[in-house]
Structure 1
Amino acid sequence: MNEQLIKIGQRAQKAANQLALLSTSQKNEALNRMADALEKATNKILAANQEDMAKATELPAKFRDRLLLNQERINQMADELRHVAMLQDPTTKIDRGWINKDGLQIIQQRIPLGVIAIIYEARPNVTSGASALTFKSGNAVILRGGKEALRTNEATVNVLRQVLVELGLPADAIQLVKDTSHEVAQKLMELNRYVDVIIPRGSQRLIQAVVEHATVPVIETGAGNCHVYVDRDADLQKATPIIINAKVQRPSVCNAAEKLLVHRDVAKEYLPVVIKALREQGVEVRGDARVCAIVNDVNPATAEDWDTEYNDLIMAVKVVDSLDEAVEQINEHGTHHSESIITENGARGREFQRRVNSAVVYVNASTRFTDGGEFGFGAEIGISTQKLHARGPMGLDQLTTIKYEITGNGQVRK
């Protein structure tokens, strides 16, 4: 398979060189055609997905939810492609230009990263969304999804590649690695000669495995141990719907809230209310000693709970004495993904945003908004929790780098 991977890398590199020369209108036409083709191929894709679902009966419900496709989700995938087509092409941007003391005209131009490899788990929508963003930004993509979604991913990629063939564009701009073994994933992580960057999407275990073992540069996307902090000046009626939405709307995703921190001044009044509301939504609540003293039938939280991303209808709750303690708890135990404070005190909200070391920090809003589509990016490659190059939801701009284009008139350096 090593030789096959090298060939995939070579084809991707060749395709990336061709993509860099495409006009924005060519890319947009292809994306819109891909969207139409996905919708026309709905039955074929759903049939493949049903085969995957039939073999995934042992998976936890949260993973099956990510794996499942239906008519609505395929329509959403198609709409993502159309939205990306409407966005500004980042490779047409000139960040700045100037003339230096020697009369050289210097332009800082946006260009594609080149070849991007994406290793991800059972999320078929990533296949189309990542393909759209990489294609629009002029990058070739090598997709390596999980074995659970292999048939769905293959059906989806075949549809997208066929559109490129029909338009006379490089089909190898989008390639799928069909061998889902760990050995092949490791080889892909070491394909430095052909892959410019690798982006992992999925569980914390997957992400850390890629970060620790890849020799190709990695953009670390984040597991989501996300927090909501109810401040002493919170509007408690506003707080409950935010918390329920953040935890319950889709608990299996990385921007779902996993922890709830409540200021001691409102804990006795508010904890019975919010815990009742969470339980009515089927959420298992685990609490620290102070929570258990107020609501005595709450399961005690363990030390491990504070570092756990559940991806499930489970939430750990803690009483804190101050904003300082809330920030300390989040920075120590969070994954630097998304956090929210509920408060009517504007100064305290701004302080929370400045001090919390996460990619996205909200005041009076659900963490579920951390999403490339919600931010207006059309789709997202992932949500970066590191600080180098890109942070937060990664859209088109984050899939480019810079080149300096310099024009002179015979100048030599003295």
Structure 2
Amino acid sequence: MVTTGSTGSTVEIAAALGRVRRAAAQIAQSAAARSAALANLGQAIQEHQDAILEANTLDLEVSREMAIPDLVVDWLKLTPERLQTAAQILHRLSALGDVEPVSPTSRPVSTVSQLRPLGVVALVYEAFPDLAAIAAGLCLRTGNGLVLRGGNEASQTNQVILDIMQDAIAAAELPSNCLYAVPAAQGGSSRFVIVQRPEIDLVIPYGRPSLVEQVMRQATVPVLPSRMGNCYLYWSASGKLDQVYQMIFESHLGNPDAINGIEKVLVHPAHRTAGLPRLWDRLLADGFEIRAEAEIAEGRHTIHLADPEDWSLSYLSRTVAFRWADDLDQAIDWMNRHSSGHADCLATTDYDESRKFSRKVGSASAYVNASPRFFRNAERANDVGLGMTNVVGRSGGLIGLEALVAHQRLIYGG
């Protein structure tokens, strides 16, 4: 068992988590109060935008001294647009209301399926200060308590956002300790204390794959791992060049995290002479880096050779690697062995291929002739989400409202 340093004992954390659980049980009782709290949260993020951005500037200055990787700095750097998106999500969740149980079946013994909160959810994340507000919104809407463990690189921004959110929740006459943040000053070990506490019902790790895998190894409670990058596309013999280009290009437009970025493309040899070179030229012109196996690169100086381990790794950049796949079965087999498993794609005009792909690909989400681009603030409020997971059966891989509730069956006798 991991223990914390002198600034935070397991006893103190356990006491705080107990308060979160009791508060979660209280907030679950009133949908109207939670709607009011969500509206307050959205308004507070908008009203205190300048204070949040000022704290974020300080974190960014410190991060430069800490030699934080550029990728994490991009995730850390807030903009007015990112904060507005978080505020819009909170307002939309406020207006959404709670999901109602389905109507009972008209039989002598009636069965009702209803949704109930999980209890206490923990978000372990690096950078992304705005995710704390979105996670709080999702947990409030579903009646869950929330425990936050952010990275040291965002400590000042995270604290300002926490204070704003707790004040907004209290203004709706709900217990503000339904939201608790483990102080960054307690050190990295506290990250693992909270993922080993029985008071936590679900842990969501969010960040680079190394963080996600580390949490999964250390956790003794259920984990819903987020996934990012290493999404595959199979360009079948009948697939159209323009469509393939758009699917790849749009998948990388997520800001600041292209969660469903297509980083690997399996190509049918029918595109060897015309389609593939044209696709490469268009992607290179857009600033992509192209990698490929030696057999497909054919000596082009603008194409870097892919390493064998690349096929199972996330680049988390505008980099795409290519290899041949003679048919759909071969492509699906390769995807199921090497992709991240949260969002894989097919470009085809063959109906039978699309049906086979949907049946056999193992990804939590499958896209046929559609861009997999991830929208955190989706068109439907029910589809708002933190990110994506490769856990099949959790709302199609979306880490959203449905991932934060449990289904309970109620049986009524006649």
TM-score, normalised to structure 2, is 0.91
Aligned position for 1:69: 78
Report deviation, 1:237: 2.1
Aligned-partner residue type, residue 71 of structure 2: K
SS of the counterpart of 1:93? coil
2:40 is aligned, of 1, 18, 33, to: 33
1:9 is aligned, of 5, 11, 17, to: 17
Contact kept? 1:246, 1:367, Cα under 8 Å: yes
Distance 1:378 1:48, change over 3 A: farther
Aligned position for 1:282: 287
Distance 1:35 1:248, change over 3 A: closer
Report deviation, 1:372: 6.5
Q: Which moved more, 1:256-265 or 1:218-227?
A: 218-227
Report deviation, 1:296: 5.0
Contact kept? 1:228, 1:340, Cα under 8 Å: yes
Distance 1:15 1:95, change over 3 A: farther
**Correspondence list, 1:48-87, <5 A:** 48-57=55-64, 58-87=67-96
Aligned position for 2:159: 154
**Correspondence list, 1:147-296, <5 A:** 147-179=152-184, 181-192=187-198, 194-247=199-252, 250=255, 252-293=257-298, 295=300
Counterpart check, 1:306 vs 2:314: no
Report deviation, 1:408: 7.0
Contact kept? 2:120, 2:147, Cα under 8 Å: yes
Contact kept? 1:140, 1:174, Cα under 8 Å: yes
Q: Structure 2, unaligned stretches of length 5 or more?
A: 1-7
Distance 1:349 1:372 in 2: 28
Report deviation, 1:108: 3.4
Report deviation, 1:253: 2.9
Which digits, 9 at most, give the CA deviation of each residue in 1:242-278, with x for residues without a partner? Answer: 2222245558432111112211001221121111111
Report deviation, 1:307: 1.2
* Percent identity for Structure 1 against Structure 2: 28
Aligned position for 1:412: none
Report deviation, 1:291: 1.9
Distance 1:212 1:97 in 2: 43
Contact kept? 1:83, 1:378, Cα under 8 Å: no
SS of the counterpart of 1:150? helix
Q: Structure 1, unaligned stretches of length 5 or more?
A: 410-414
SS of the counterpart of 1:394? strand
TM-score, normalised to structure 1, is 0.91
Distance 1:406 1:321, change over 3 A: closer
Report deviation, 1:15: 0.5
**Correspondence list, 1:305-324, <5 A:** 305-324=310-329
RMSD after superposition: 2.2
Aligned-partner residue type, residue 146 of structure 2: V
2:139 is aligned, of 131, 134, 145, to: 134
Which digits, 9 at most, give the CA deviation of each residue in 1:336-379, with x for residues without a partner? Answer: 11111111222212221221110111111222146572564353
Distance 1:162 1:346 in 2: 54
Counterpart check, 1:19 vs 2:17: no
Distance 2:103 2:157 in 1: 39
Report deviation, 1:87: 2.1
Paired residues in the alignment total 403
Distance 1:54 1:326 in 2: 45
SS of the counterpart of 1:240? helix
Q: Which moved more, 1:375-384 or 1:205-214?
A: 375-384
